[in-house]
């Protein structure tokens, strides 16, 4: 049964021919990461004993402790919190901010305006109850330039009370390039030369396993992210993580729970097997998503749209940005992704206001885990130039079909 038009199928053929040569590097990274993760699992002697659930206070939860040891090792860090009690990546990121910053301190974003949900946590551009601003914590940001972070002006932007710099690895809702591991290493080294006590904090969402090292292995003091993105491998049902230097992670643990409790409590109500298995599968699953993004970049470039990254550019996250230039096309794209999803394919997403976002947002996510952006999904704010952000794909095959489905819906508008 032919689902798509001859035009779409011909573009698919051309896109696969161009993209296939770019997949080898992705597969190489995936194999290296899988080998490294396997060795870490073996060294830590992970057993099915660690899969069991716990209840109540969960003192001495062996599975929870082992999972956190494994993740810290994978990230080249001293300590980790890997908890299903984190409801999202934003929750984990906010826990770091509130755990380490105090009234009178200032947070400096080196990568311009952060992701929309983080702006509400910070509270300096949009008023929100319980924000950093309400607690007397200052904020400033250094706009990015065409070449990346404006390194020459970092020293000028830092103040005596700049306690932490925020480095957002991914692009967020912008058309800037994500930061590579080398970029992050350079930034952290430079910051420490200016002020060795300044905390380098990386928002690592969408970036895990895209390269063979993580930011904490190259100089970042602490980082955080979501388990329903890359590190959960499409299997983790919920959760987030914080990982980095031991003393910093311990401080954030007191914000996660309460002073005096820290990381010692927290029941494993979810089968830990899902978290361990997801973590083990994450290298491969992330590679599938990256290859899907490369295919989409080639496909929509052939259709005449501006894409970032370009097909042959180095990637540091799983996101593919496509500039559609009209709200109708943005909506159609997301409706196409939803239409060719395994879950809720009968649903038509529409733009709406959402907590934490300044503009109306449209989101397509026919996912097994609600909101899991390691699964094929797309979203974007309804503001010019109407960029859609495509990410995820548990399999390359689904990413290809979904991309064609999105294109088919857009072509209906053109006709």
Residue 2 pLDDT level (bands cut at 50, 70, 90): low
Which overall architecture, per CATH, does domain 52-270 show? 3-Layer(aba) Sandwich (3.40)
DSSP secondary structure letters along 263-318: GG-----S-HHHHHHHHHHHHHHHHHHHHHHHHHHHHHHHTT-EEES-TTS--SSS
Average pLDDT over residues 23-51: 98
| pLDDT, tens digit, 9 for 90 and up, residues 108-144 | 999 999 988 899 999 988 778 999 999 999 999 999 9
Residue 1: the pLDDT is 45
Least confident piece of the model among 85-89, 340-344, 355-359, 369-373: 355-359
Separation of CA 138 from chain center? 25
Boundaries of every domain in the chain? 6-33+280-414, 52-270
- Intrachain domains 6-33+280-414 and 52-270 with the same fold: no
> What pLDDT was estimated at residue 199?
99
3-state secondary structure 10-73: HHHHHHHHHHHCCHHHHHHHHHHHHHHHHHHHHHCCCCHHHHCCCCCCCCCCHHHHHHHHHHHH
Q: Cis check for the bond before 95: say yes or no (omega within 30 of 0).
A: no
Residue 411, helix vs strand vs coil:
helix
Q: Is the pLDDT higher at 359 or at 209?
A: 209
pLDDT at 302 over 70: yes
Question: What CATH fold (topology level) applies to the domain 6-33+280-414?
Answer: 3.90.1150
pLDDT for the residue numbered 126: 76
| CA dist., res. 105 & res. 195, Å (int) | 14
pLDDT at residue 355 greater than cutoff 80: no
Q: Omega before 284 cis (within 30°)?
A: no
Q: Which residue has the tokens 């809702």?
A: 173
pLDDT at position 107 is 99
CA distances from 272 to 42, 149, 182, 205, 262 (A): 17, 39, 33, 21, 20
pLDDT in tens, 330-343: 999 999 999 999 99
Quote the mean pLDDT of the chain.
96
Q: Which of 37-41, 58-62, 91-95 is predicted least confidently?
A: 58-62
Give the Cα-Cα-Cα angle 268, 273, 278 (nearest 5 degrees).
Answer: 110
Q: pLDDT tens digits for 195-204?
A: 999 999 999 9
Kindly state the percentage of the chain with pLDDT values over 70: 99
């Amino acid at each position: 049964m032919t689902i798509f038009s001859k035009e779409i199928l011909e573009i698919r053929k051309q896109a696969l021919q161009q993209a296939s040569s770019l997949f080898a590097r992705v597969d190489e990274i995936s194999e290296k990461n899988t080998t490294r993760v396997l060795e870490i699992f073996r060294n830590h002697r992970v057993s099915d004993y660690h899969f069991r659930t716990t209840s109540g206070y969960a003192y001495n939860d062996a599975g929870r402790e082992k999972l956190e040891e494994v993740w810290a090792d994978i990230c080249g860090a001293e300590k980790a919190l890997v908890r299903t009690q984190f409801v999202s990546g934003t929750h984990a990121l906010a826990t770091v901010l509130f755990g380490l910053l105090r009234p009178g301190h200032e947070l400096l974003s080196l990568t311009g305006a952060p992701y929309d949900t983080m702006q509400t946590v910070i509270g300096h551009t949009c008023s929100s109850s319980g924000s950093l601003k309400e607690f007397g914590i200052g904020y400033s940001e250094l706009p990015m330039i065409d070449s990346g972070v404006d390194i020459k002006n970092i020293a000028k932007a830092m103040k005596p009370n700049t306690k932490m710099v925020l480095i957002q690895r991914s692009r967020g809702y912008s058309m800037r390039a994500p930061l590579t591991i080398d970029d992050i290493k350079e930034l952290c080294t430079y910051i420490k030369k200016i002020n060795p006590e300044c905390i380098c904090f990386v928002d690592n969402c969408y970036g895990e396993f895209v390269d063979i090292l993580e930011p904490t292995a190259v100089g970042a003091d602490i980082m955080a992210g979501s388990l329903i993105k890359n590190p959960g491998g499409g299997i983790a049902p919920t959760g987030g993580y914080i990982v980095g230097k031991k003393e910093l992670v311990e401080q954030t643990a007191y914000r996660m729970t309460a002073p005096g409790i820290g990381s010692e409590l927290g029941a494993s109500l979810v089968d830990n097997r899902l978290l361990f298995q997801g973590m083990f599968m994450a290298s491969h699953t992330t590679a599938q998503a990256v290859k899907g993004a490369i295919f989409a970049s080639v496909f929509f470039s052939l259709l005449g749209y501006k894409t970032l990254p370009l097909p042959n550019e180095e990637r540091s996250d799983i996101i593919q940005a496509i500039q559609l230039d009209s709200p109708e096309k943005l909506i159609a794209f997301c409706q196409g992704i939803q239409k060719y999803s395994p879950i809720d394919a009968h649903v038509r997403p529409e733009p709406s206001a959402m907590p934490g976002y300044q503009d109306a947002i449209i989101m397509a996510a026919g996912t097994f885990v609600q909101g899991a952006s390691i699964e094929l999904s797309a979203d974007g704010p309804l503001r010019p130039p109407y960029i859609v952000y495509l990410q995820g794909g548990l399999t390359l095959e689904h990413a290809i079909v979904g991309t064609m489905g999105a294109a088919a819906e857009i072509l209906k508008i053109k006709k």
